[in-house]
Every structure is written in structure tokens, then in C-alpha cells.
Structure 1
Amino acid sequence: MERINYQHLYYFWTVAKHGSISAACEVLHLAQPTISGQLTVFEQSVGAKLLRKEGRKLVLTDTGRAVYHYADEIFALGREMTHMLKGRTTERGLRLNIGVSDAMPKLIAYRLMAPLLRLSDPKQIHCVEDKTERLLTEIGLHSIDMMLSDVPATPASGARVFNHFLGESAVAIFAAPDLAARYRQDFPRCLNGAPFLLPTINTALRRSLDQWFDDKQLSPTIQAEVEDSGLLKTFGAAGVGLFFSPRAVASEIQRQYGTEMLGPAEGVFERFYAITAQRRLKHPLVTAILDNARQGLLDLLDRPG
């Protein structure tokens, strides 16, 4: 088995963590030529570029992100061993790296992850939000264990992944109180020309909503198109326009954003998926999320009927 030079790995990890060689020099108390030379040797030993320049910044390559993820785990274990040897025993517990698609309703994502927070066993949950395509890349690099999405991964994504259907919810229309009062009567015909906040055209929900508008012969006035579901609701709470969201979390939306539900968008549903790499299917915390979805999520979500 080829051996890794952990000193070189530590130099790389420090540079990546602090964002530049000069910052790493201050932490390591080494000269810049020393660190630069050791990084070059390390990249040669692994056979791939780990860092590249973008302007004046150093950014991780895809391989670099994967190596950094493993280095983070390695040095975290090293710190715990040091604490243990000094008499400060710690329980590290399980670590779950989870990605959430920016179009995924955050209140639904929270419901899926909330049971993990109630587990008595020690755990560390690291949650990131990004575009679906980028998160699928991270799964392929094993930088995250699973992702939550409003769309399944397709073969076109190029990643070897597995989709797990979690459930679906009917969609309803919400608005700030003043705006809601103007569009309550003769629903949904009163919505013709109404100001709307819509998800961007690259989302599954937007395609369904465009079809719903056509079926109802409605022409909305689009005030803004917002990809992030949380930001869209923030705009809606400010009275900028009406917006759509899963009916399953209607009470939370009304309480958290001070909005009111006008009525359902009949025939429109949002579907939710967990996406994992084959290697991570046996992760206990991933299994806990999937089991919770199978056993209880459909009690929280609305099914078409």
C-alpha cells in the first residue's frame, strides 16, 4: 500500500482551510517557498492538482475537495487522540455531511433532519446548501453522505447515485395579510394579473405552476423569480407578491413568516427525494432519515387523493 506523507497532507489542509499560502505560513511558522515546495511534492505524489489559482485566491479542485474532506476527518481524529491522552476523553460520535438543494423547502428539510437531533447518541451534523448539480458532484466525491432534493437525480447527471422517494405534498398559495385580503374572493379566478413570486424556470415546481396557470387561464404578474425557497418566502412576507409552498408546512409558514394561506393550487404537488451514493447507504444517520420518512413523513405530508 502506498504511504501518505501526513506532513505534506497537513500543509495542504492548512492552506486549504485558511485560503492562502501566506495565511498558512503564519499558522505554521514556515517560509512561503517551503510550503509551496511541499505542496508541489504532495500533488505529484497523489497524481492530481489539488489547488488552482482564481485571481489572487487559491481554490480547491474537485480532487482537492475530496482530499480536504478526508484530511479534515484524519486531523479531527488526531485532535481527539491528543485530548484522550491528556485525560480529556471526548465522544466524537457519528458525523453526517448532508446537502440540501437550494430549491428544497427548508421547513421540509428540517422535518426530515429534526429526529436526528433527538437521538441520544453523540453526533455531528454538517449541513450545506447548494445547487443540485454541485451537490451531486460532492456525492460522487464522497464529500457529502446524502442530499435532500425536490427532484430525483437522472442518468444525465453522470453521478453513480441512488434516489429514495420520501413523499409529496400538495401546494398552496400564501401571502402577507394585506395582500391576502385583496385576493380572497372568487378564488382562484381573482388571481388573474395578481403579483406573484415564482421559483426559477429550472425548478420542477415552476414547470408545474406554469401548467397550472395555463389550465386555470391565469396570467400572473411576475414580481420576481427566486431560486432559494427561504428567500422567496422572505420576499412574500414583505408583501412583494403571492407565493406557493407545500401545504404540509402551512402552519409553520404562517407562524414563521406572518403570512396567510389563500387556498390550494389544485393538482400541483411537490415531491421530495433523498439521494445517496452506494457507498454511503449503510450510514446509520442516513438510514435514520430514510426510516423516519418511510414510517412517519407521509403523516406530515399530503398525498394526492
Structure 2
Amino acid sequence: MIPLNYHHLYYFHAIAQEGGVAKAARALFLAQPTLSAQLKEFEAALGRRLFDRVGRRLVLTEDGKAVLRYAEQIVRLGRELSDDLRDRPPGGALSVQLGATPGTPRAVVEALIAAALAAGASHVDCKEAPLPELLEDLGDHRIDALLSDSCDATHGAASRRWRRIARLPVAFAGTTAVVKRLARLPKGLAAVPLILPKAPSSVHRQVQTYLAENALRVRVVAEVPDGGIALRLARAGRGVAPLDSVTLKDWTGLAALAGGPSSLRHELWLAAAEGRLRPNPAAERLFQAFSVS
């Protein structure tokens, strides 16, 4: 049996992912000669050449491709092990790491954190980042679950689960003073500044479709990353904004334009990692039970 060195395997994986020793050395903060030596030691231990040099790039041999498939699984398990121990500090406490994409209602993020604490977590760490970054974090076990207003069930689908937690009604809302002088929808949108969520928000896509279907020419004065900013601009009389029911619920002084489409919905999704050897029980309870109405 070949005694495998985890560092060798990890360094080989990094070189394969980066496409060369120089790039991998920069990513790992190692000297290039040191990394080259580690690769040679690994190839010698296996008795196989893992890369061929083609121009300035290293290209995996057939044996290298096979080793990489194993390395990906072993590195993933190593990250999962680190996350498992981080989630369970000494003393029996549980920690949960969450992610949320820009555009998810702040009130829902707050409710998710509260639900994680109620599910048994003694500490919750939450970060905001674009969906591709959070999906990578989820796959590498840097977070336990992510909240998003879009569901990516394609890339890396086998490594995660998705659950829709809400379909929140969306209304075009503004101050009472602004709304009362406007005609019913859809015509009323042509006479008022419009505040939109930034793409690729699902609400942004739905609003653009609604405008196109009704042949409306509107004046968009701002595109903002989340509903909280849109709400504050609307409350300041800067225009009307498509706001979901959770964002609107706790605010007075705003009114919805009459005749709005019932089809406008802000869908929210929760994703969790799949196939962990020892799932985080607090994160599992959160994924199974959390919902918004």
C-alpha cells in the first residue's frame, strides 16, 4: 500500500486547479521551487507521472486525471472535517455559518439567523456575497446554508439541496402623496420615477417582463442591491419601488398602486450541503423547518 501524504495530495490538487506550479504557489503562498519539489516527491511516491508540459502549461496525464478525481474527494472531505470541528467547539456548543445573496430581504436574513439560534446554534456567522461565491463556499463547507432569491440547481447540483421557503407577493409602492395622484397600474408606472432592484434579482427580471408585456416606457432613477434601500428611497418620495410583503409589513406611510399584477412574487430559496458524513444538527433543523409567509 502506498503511504499517501495529505500535503502532497493537497498541493497536487491546487496545481491541477490552477493549471501550473507558479499560479498554485501564489495561491498557496509558497515558493515555487518548494511546490515543484513537493510535486516531484508525490510523483515519485506514486511511481507515475501526473503532468505533461505543453508550452507553459501543465496538462494532466491519464493517471493524473484519475488521481485528481480521488484528490477532489479527499480535499473535499478534509474541508468538511475542518468545518465539522469548527461547528463543534469544545463544550458541546454548535456553530452555524450562513450566507445570503444581495437582494434578499433584510428581515428574512434576520429571521434566518434567529431561527438558527432557535435550532440549537450557540453562535451564527453570516456573510453576504454573490450567489456563485456562496455556492463555492457551500461546496467547500465554509458555510452550512445559503439564502438566495434564485435557485441554481445545475452546476454542482449533486453536492447540495434546495428548498423554496417563500413566494412573497410584490407590490409597486410609494408614499401616499405620490401614489394618490397616479393612475392604476400598469399605466400609472409611466408617470412616476421607478426604483428597481439590481439584476440578476428575480424581481428585476419579473418587472422587466411586466414592463415589456404592457409596452411601458418608464424612467428608472435608481437600481439598488436590496429592498431596504429601495424602501428608504420610496419613503423619501424618490419614486415607487417593487417591494415584497415582508419588507413592507413593518412600515407605515407607504401605499401600493392599485391594479398591480398578482403574478409578481419574490421567491426565496435555502440551500444546504448534501452528503456530509456528520451533518450539523442545528443546520439540518434550520434547513428542514425554516419558512417565511
| Residue pair 2:102, 2:129 contacting (<8 A) in 1 also | yes
Which residue identity lines up with residue 290 of structure 1 in the other structure? F
Aligned length: 232
Q: Which residue pairs with 1:153 in the alignment?
A: 152
Give 1:235 shift: 3.3
> Aligned partners of 1:169 and 1:286: how far apart in 2?
24
Q: Which residue pairs with 1:108 in the alignment?
A: 108
> Aligned partners of 1:244 and 1:122: how far apart in 2?
34
> Aligned partners of 1:72 and 1:290: how far apart in 2?
21
| Residue pair 2:113, 2:124 contacting (<8 A) in 1 also | no
Which residue identity lines up with residue 245 of structure 1 in the other structure? L
Give 1:230 shift: 3.3
> Aligned partners of 1:92 and 1:100: how far apart in 2?
27
**1:233-272 alignment, distance < 5 Å:** 233-252=231-250, 254=251, 259-263=253-257, 265-266=260-261, 267-272=263-268
| Residue pair 1:96, 1:125 contacting (<8 A) in 2 also | yes
Partner of 2:199: helix, strand, or coil?
coil
| Residue pair 1:195, 1:242 contacting (<8 A) in 2 also | yes
Gaps (5+ residues) in structure 2?
8-28, 43-71
Say if 1:4 and 1:197 are closer, same or farther in 2 by CA, change over 3 A: same
Identical-residue share of aligned pairs (%): 18
Over aligned residues, Cα RMSD in angstroms?
A: 3.9
Q: Which residue pairs with 2:65 in the alignment?
A: none
> Aligned partners of 2:87 and 2:209: how far apart in 1?
52
> Aligned partners of 1:158 and 1:261: how far apart in 2?
42
Give 1:141 shift: 1.1
**1:208-219 alignment, distance < 5 Å:** 208-219=206-217
Q: Which residue pairs with 1:166 in the alignment?
A: 165
Say if 1:2 and 1:206 are closer, same or farther in 2 by CA, change over 3 A: same
Say if 1:283 and 1:221 are closer, same or farther in 2 by CA, change over 3 A: same
Which residue identity lines up with residue 183 of structure 1 in the other structure? V
| Residue pair 1:104, 1:148 contacting (<8 A) in 2 also | yes
| Cα offsets for 1:250-304 (capped at 9, x unmatched) | 222x15xxx51324732211111111221359432223223333xxx3xx52xxx
> Aligned partners of 1:67 and 1:222: how far apart in 2?
48
Which residue identity lines up with residue 169 of structure 1 in the other structure? L
Give 1:142 shift: 1.2
Q: Which residue pairs with 2:22 in the alignment?
A: none
> Aligned partners of 1:163 and 1:224: how far apart in 2?
31
1:98 aligns to 2:98 (yes or no): yes
| Residue pair 2:149, 2:266 contacting (<8 A) in 1 also | yes
TM value normalised by structure 2 = 0.64
Q: Which residue pairs with 2:64 in the alignment?
A: none
| Cα offsets for 1:238-261 (capped at 9, x unmatched) | 333211121244222x15xxx513
| Residue pair 1:197, 1:225 contacting (<8 A) in 2 also | yes
| Residue pair 2:271, 2:287 contacting (<8 A) in 1 also | no
> Aligned partners of 1:140 and 1:164: how far apart in 2?
17
| Residue pair 1:170, 1:247 contacting (<8 A) in 2 also | yes
**1:1-305 alignment, distance < 5 Å:** 44=38, 91=91, 93-118=93-118, 121=120, 123-155=122-154, 157-158=155-156, 160=158, 161-175=160-174, 177=175, 180-185=176-181, 186-188=183-185, 189-252=187-250, 254=251, 259-263=253-257, 265-266=260-261, 267-280=263-276, 282-293=279-290, 297=291, 300-301=292-293
Question: Rg bigger for which structure?
Answer: 2
| Residue pair 1:113, 1:289 contacting (<8 A) in 2 also | no
| Residue pair 1:98, 1:128 contacting (<8 A) in 2 also | yes
Partner of 2:172: helix, strand, or coil?
strand
Say if 1:77 and 1:289 are closer, same or farther in 2 by CA, change over 3 A: closer
> Aligned partners of 1:163 and 1:261: how far apart in 2?
34
Gaps (5+ residues) in structure 1?
6-34, 48-62, 81-89
Q: Which residue pairs with 2:10 in the alignment?
A: none
Which residue identity lines up with residue 285 of structure 2 in the other structure? A
Partner of 1:154: helix, strand, or coil?
coil
> Aligned partners of 1:68 and 1:235: how far apart in 2?
46
> Aligned partners of 1:112 and 1:77: how far apart in 2?
17
